[in-house]
Amino acid sequence: MSAPDLRMVLPAKAENVGVVRHALAGLAEALGMEPSQLGDLKTVVTEACMNTVVHAYGEDGTGSMEIDAVREEDALLIVVRDHGSGIRPKVDVERESLRMGLPLIAALSSSFEISGGDGLGTVVTMRMLLSPNGNGAEADPGPFPGPKPGAAMSMPAEGLVGPVLSRVISVFAVRADFSVDRLSDAVLLGDAVAAQAASHFAEGRANLVVDADGGAVSIRVGPLVPGAGDQLLDGMRIPDIDASLERLADAIRVEREGDAEHLLIEISGRAG
């Protein structure tokens, strides 16, 4: 498989299925997927992830689900992977699922494969057709963050950070019970980072971690080239009114690790 256009690692919990669904929908739109296919994409992703949530780690188990998505000619290849006990397909997938499981994935995708077994984990691979004029991108994934409490993502910085990040931030802001105004503030901060992303990420690759905890959303972006963190903050300024979007956040700071930097943004559901 080619280098992924989007890579995610999340805890295998039902509440994170929506995060994956919205992130992949943003990617698919950016790559030119036909509107009629977007609904099918959301459905198959929901079913694949819910199968992992229900079957992979047992009722009391914890583990991660990993999602890769890559443009392949006229299709979007999606891989959902776990490291659990091996899937045992049923037709009683609960919660967000349509309760049809793997047969529904097979019916809606242009191709579908499942591999693994007892104690080996499970890999579900799906191909969803794109329109012929979509624009894909490939890049070396580089270092990728391991499993985090929230959503860990990796993607090319050019053109994809905005559509994916804004959707994921929205999901976590709703989870943290943000008001409409604070949700808009959070998305605006994400958009401000994404608007400058392409020239600031090391090797053109963006690693993002988004999480919600205690009524607040945190966003970590990087690795950035030296000095890029301060440049991103400068880019948030609004000269005409002598203000900065930085004021929308509860905290923004730049962390430096060797030659790389990361920008950390924290925003709570209550305006300061």
**SS3 annotation, the chain:** CCCCCEEEEEECCHHHHHHHHHHHHHHHHHCCCCHHHHHHHHHHHHHHHHHHHHHHCCCCCCCEEEEEEEEECCEEEEEEEECCCCCCCCCCCCCCCCCCHHHHHHHHCCEEEEEEECCCEEEEEEEEECCCCCCCCCCCCCCCCCCCCCEEEEEEHHHHHHHHHHHHHHHHHHHCCCCHHHHHHHHHHHHHHHHCHHHCEHHHEEEEEEEEECCEEEEEEEEECCCHHHHHHHHCEEHHHCEEHHHHCCEEEEEEECCEEEEEEEEECCCC
Is residue 219 a part of any domain in this protein?
yes
Predicted model pTM: 0.72
Q: Are residues 40 and 81 in the same domain?
A: yes
CA dihedral of 169, 129, 80, 13, whole degrees rounded to 10: 40
Q: Which of 105-114, 130-139, 252-261 ranks highest by mean pLDDT? A: 252-261
Does residue 220 or residue 162 have the better pLDDT? 220
Is residue 136 a part of any domain in this protein?
no
Q: Are residues 120 and 161 in the same domain?
A: no
**Across residues 167-183, what is the average pLDDT?**
86
Does residue 77 or residue 138 have the better pLDDT? 77
Check whether 62 has a pLDDT greater than 50.
yes
Percent of the chain at pLDDT exceeding 70: 78
Residue 134 has what pLDDT? 40
Q: Model confidence over 3-48: pLDDT tens digits?
A: 678 899 999 888 899 999 999 998 888 888 888 788 888 888 888 8
Residue type, 210: V
What mean pLDDT value characterizes the chain?
A: 77
Q: Model confidence over 206-246: pLDDT tens digits?
A: 888 888 887 888 888 888 888 888 887 887 777 666 667 77
| Structural domains in the chain (count) | 2
Q: Are residues 19 and 86 in the same domain?
A: yes
Residue 118 has what pLDDT? 66
Is residue 144 a part of any domain in this protein?
no
Q: Are residues 16 and 119 in the same domain?
A: yes
Return d(Cα 202, Cα 40) in angstroms, integer. Answer: 34
Is residue 142 a part of any domain in this protein?
no
Q: Are residues 11 and 122 in the same domain?
A: yes
Residue 191 has what pLDDT? 82
Is residue 178 a part of any domain in this protein?
yes
Where does a domain end: 95, 129, 163?
Answer: 129
Return d(Cα 185, Cα 192) in angstroms, integer. Answer: 11
**Which residue segment(s) compose the domain that 224 sits in?**
151-268
Residue 256 has what pLDDT? 85
Q: Model confidence over 120-148: pLDDT tens digits?
A: 788 888 888 886 444 433 434 444 444 44
Check whether 105 has a pLDDT greater than 80.
no
Query: Which among 226, 214, 220, 69 is positioned nearest to 145, based on CA atoms?
Result: 220
**Across residues 56-83, what is the average pLDDT?**
85
Is residue 257 a part of any domain in this protein?
yes
Residue 78 has what pLDDT? 92
Read off the CATH number of the domain in which 46 is found: 3.30.565.10
Is residue 143 a part of any domain in this protein?
no
**Across residues 176-198, what is the average pLDDT?**
82
Percent of the chain at pLDDT exceeding 90: 7
Does residue 229 or residue 103 have the better pLDDT? 229
Residue 93 has what pLDDT? 42
Q: Are residues 155 and 123 in the same domain?
A: no
Is residue 202 a part of any domain in this protein?
yes
Q: What are phi and psi of 254, to 5 degrees?
A: -110, 125
Q: Are residues 225 and 167 in the same domain?
A: yes
Residue 92 has what pLDDT? 45
